[in-house]
Structure 1
Amino acid sequence: MSTQEPTRQNLSRLLSDGIQRCAKSLGRLSYSTWNVDAVAWDSDCAKTILDKIPEGGEDCFGTFLGIPGGGFLVVFPQKSGGLVTNRFTQAGADSIDALPDRESKVLAEVSNIIINTLADALAGACGKSLILSSPEPVKAPRKEILLRTLKRLEPSGACSWVCQARFTSSTFGSDCDFFLFLDNGLAARLASAAKPG
């Protein structure tokens, strides 16, 4: 067993319930059902996740929120992003339709709510508040969104640990990617809080 494996196992234990809650939160916001299709950890090199994403492709809607020692990123493809936007804004559709960059702004708010669901769980586990930055939306191909995020976090070591969760919706026939980035210090604190017994 590698020296990182206990940390990985404890983080997985801590995050499993929180990620399920994120999917349920997204379901409530979009009046649909979302499932956690896969969860993957990378503790060696965040670029191994990047390498699995093909170059180019359509623009996606990304939203980043930073925390001391890491950050969160949610990425919606255009199809599911548009559908989630429409569902989320049903009540005030007329006024919201007139907003410039409507999808980016609405999905930034949706992502903010989803991210806070997990951030609250992590804060409770480690016994201290996690101060989140304001949502920062970006529209670009999926790989470019992730690359920008890694370039932003790498200098401080805040992507030493990366968790990727894939949410899928049979209602929309589409998906959504949720990323959590941690530096070694925050990963160790969270893993310690999640130790069994």
Structure 2
Amino acid sequence: MNGKYCFSQKLFCGKCGDILQRNMWYRPEKVAVWRCASRIRRSKIGRRCMIRNVKEPLLKEATIEAFYQLIEGHELANKQIKANIMKVIVNSKGPTLDQIDQQLEEVQMKLIQAANQHQDCDVLTQQIMDLRNQKEKVQSREIDQQAKLHSLDEINKLVELHKYGLVDFDEQLVRRLVEKITIFQRYMEFTFKDGEVIRVNM
């Protein structure tokens, strides 16, 4: 989810769930403001969302605070998150990718034999389709878990590099490590790509 701004496609309204969009305000001073899309456009049914607007400087300050909290409390969370990810991998129900590949190979051989003997192939064809769908789901789950482990490693590097907190706002860290930021009336909720969630009051 890369956009023109590091917060693009990452900010969501905690009230209606819509995305927040960036606008420029020029009075009393020029400042970028993030506003709920439902607040910008009047809905055809019901009232528009009235969640607060968030000025970008405040958003950046909250992001620095979220990273500071992440660094401060990460050591314990790191062990728990890795344990949770490994638990999901180990306890995943159903066959492994290797087992699915073996089943696919067996069914495909049966299909070839059935076709050569001019037998009905509908059941075998359906089995192959089901196995392929199952394989896609298992691959997707494994990719998701590996992505979380990778993000956890990235955050570990961040923690090692900034043991005493962040001094400046860093766009690249937001792009690399923040999954989404949910804006509520009195606080922001930062969800990081390894699954950690941090609340920052406004």
- TM-score w.r.t. the length of structure 1 is 0.28
Counting strand residues as a fraction of each chain, which structure ranks higher?
1
Q: Which has the higher contact order (CA 8 A, sep 6+)?
A: 1
Which of the two has higher C-alpha Rg?
Answer: 2
- TM-score w.r.t. the length of structure 2 is 0.28
